[in-house]
Chains A and B, each alone.
Chain A
Amino acid sequence: GAGVSQTPSNKVTEKGKYVELRCDPISGHTALYWYRQSLGQGPEFLIYFQGTGAADDSGLPNDRFFAVRPEGSVSTLKIQRTERGDSAVYLCASSQGAANEQFFGPGTRLTVL
């Protein structure tokens, strides 16, 4: 079956603009995660959904970042008033339930000019 997919694969935007990044998890996976990987670093946890609700959003860096998962499947990460420091690869992962292996998508590379 299909793995986790993310769109777009690349996004270039200007400072101050709004962006949306989309994640399609593996069908049937109830848990969905967003991570951010900056250059030379490992992935950094942002937020975790169990079903439609955000179970843990402690990793979101500030209130410019917001994520939704309205129907418990596809998720969108939204970044307002982008800053150059937001440039990174944004990774999405899904798992079948709590405490299970997380399967990662290929990521969206965001570049803020």
Chain B
Amino acid sequence: DQQVKQNSPSLSVQEGRISILNCDYTNSMFDYFLWYKKYPAEGPTFLISISSIKDKNEDGRFTVFLNKSAKHLSLHIVPSQPGDSAVYFCAASAQDTGFQKLVFGTGTRLLVSP
């Protein structure tokens, strides 16, 4: 049973435009969410996170939005750059596991073309 879902396996965007990556979760115990970015042959790199007490967190070009009632979060990248081309993973954790056990989605491959 996939508790964290990324239903779009890939996304293509032009440079300078907005990229929106989506993530849905089913476990209502999740209360901390993260986005990781992964380049080929490298490990995932932390990008941005959000606690369930917030509905938005912004860091430069990256903004994460959380809609708890819909169990949905999204990552916005504005403006998108070719160097953003990578696989993006959404992950969730719960306080009852000490936030240690990250549950990942299957990833969305983002391609930003010049």
Could you list which residues of chain A lie within 8 angstroms of chain B, going by C-beta atoms? 4, 31, 33, 35, 40-45, 48, 55-56, 58-59, 91, 93, 98-99, 101-107
Contact A91 B44 (CB under 8 A): yes
Residues facing A in B37-74 (CB within 8 A) are 41-46, 49
Which residue of the partner chain, among A4, A48, A103, contacts B101 with CB atoms under 8 Å? A48
Q: In the assembled complex, which residues on chain A have CB atoms less than 8 Å from the CB atom of B98? A: 55, 98-99
Docked Cα-Cα span, A104 to B43, in Å, equals 5
Query: Which residues does chain A contribute within 8 Å of B42, judged by CB atoms?
Result: 106
Taking A42-B91, A58-B101 as known contacts, 20 extra A-B pairs with beta carbons closer than 8 A to each other, sorted by chain A number, are A31-B100, A33-B102, A35-B102, A42-B4, A42-B6, A42-B89, A43-B44, A43-B104, A48-B101, A59-B101, A91-B43, A98-B98, A98-B99, A98-B100, A101-B49, A103-B46, A104-B36, A105-B43, A106-B41, A106-B42
Chain A residues with CB under 8 Å of B104's CB are: 35, 42-44
Whether the pair B106, A56 counts as a contact (CB closer than 8 A) is no
Check if A102 sits within 8 Å of B106, measured CB to CB. Answer: no
Q: Which residues of B are at the interface with A, using a C-beta cutoff of 8 A?
A: 4, 6, 32, 34, 36, 41-46, 49, 89, 91, 97-107
Chain B residues near A45 (CB-CB < 8 A): 101-103
Which residue of A48, A98, A107 contacts B43 across the interface (Cβ within 8 Å)? A107
Which residue from chain B places its CB closest to the CB of A98 in the assembled complex?
B98
Q: Which residues of B contact A102 (CB under 8 A)?
A: 46, 102
Whether the pair B4, A106 counts as a contact (CB closer than 8 A) is no
Q: Which residue of B lies closest to A40 (CB)?
A: B106
Q: Which residues of B contact A103 (CB under 8 A)?
A: 46
Query: Closest approach, in angstroms, between the C-beta of B103 and any C-beta of chain A?
Result: 7
Residues from chain A with a CB closer than 8 A to the CB of B41 are 106
Judging by beta carbons under 8 Å apart, are A42 and B105 in contact? yes
A4 CA / B36 CA spacing, docked (Å) = 16
